[in-house]
Amino acid sequence: MKLTATVDEVRALLALAGSGHGRKRSASKRHREPRPLRASRQLLDRYERLLAAGREPAIVAIVRGACSGCNLRLPTMVELQTRRSVAVHTCPHCQRMLYVPDLLREADEPGQTLADAAAVGPSRS
């Protein structure tokens, strides 16, 4: 599964994950944190479904060809698609959302899509 995303939306999801959203979930809906406006409803719904299923963190990086959530090696095709497409892909093992940290580092313009950053490519320093 893949969802279209901008670099700003991925950063918003990472900020949401870093804020502890999900660990201190209240049974009452009126105590829920407001949703950030920088991520699409489709991405946020997917994120919340993963948290409800016990997949915390819900969005994880690809590190050395593996999902950093379950630490299992990703199929080559999934890794390549994640590095090259305008989308947040799903780990086939744990179902978490995957992102490529190099693309976030390369993207410096607000609103830039992951494809724009992928076109620049990771730095080779």
Q: Which CATH number fits domain 2-22+36-120: 3.30.2020.30, 1.10.287.1490, 3.20.20.80, 1.10.645.10?
A: 1.10.287.1490
Tell me the C-alpha distance between 96 and 89, whole Å.
8
Cα–chain-centroid distance for residue 125? 25
List the structure tokens of 63: 């590190």
Per-residue pLDDT of the chain (125 residues; tens, 9 = 90+): 778 888 888 888 888 888 765 554 444 443 445 544 577 889 899 999 999 999 999 999 999 999 999 999 999 998 888 888 767 889 999 999 998 888 777 765 455 555 555 555 544 44
Closest Cα to residue 96, out of 32, 14, 6?
14
pTM recorded for the entire structure? 0.71
Residue 90 pairs in a beta bridge with 97
Domain regions of the chain by residue span: 2-22+36-120
Tell me the C-alpha distance between 7 and 39, whole Å.
10
Conformation bin of residue 98: beta by default, left when phi > 0, alpha when psi is -120 to 50: beta
